[in-house]
Amino acid sequence: MYVNRMMRQFRAVFGLFMVFFYLGTAIFLIFYADRWFTLDPAMVVIISVAFIIFGTYRAYQSYKEIKRLFFSKEVDDDTY
Q: What is the pLDDT of residue 20?
A: 97
Confidence (pTM) = 0.79
By CB neighbour count within 10 A (0-12 exposed, 13-18 middle, 19+ buried), where does 27 fall?
middle
| For the chain, domain boundaries | 2-71
pLDDT in tens, 8-61: 889 999 999 999 999 999 999 999 988 888 888 899 999 999 999 999 999 999
Write out the E strands in 21-72: none
Residues in the chain: 80
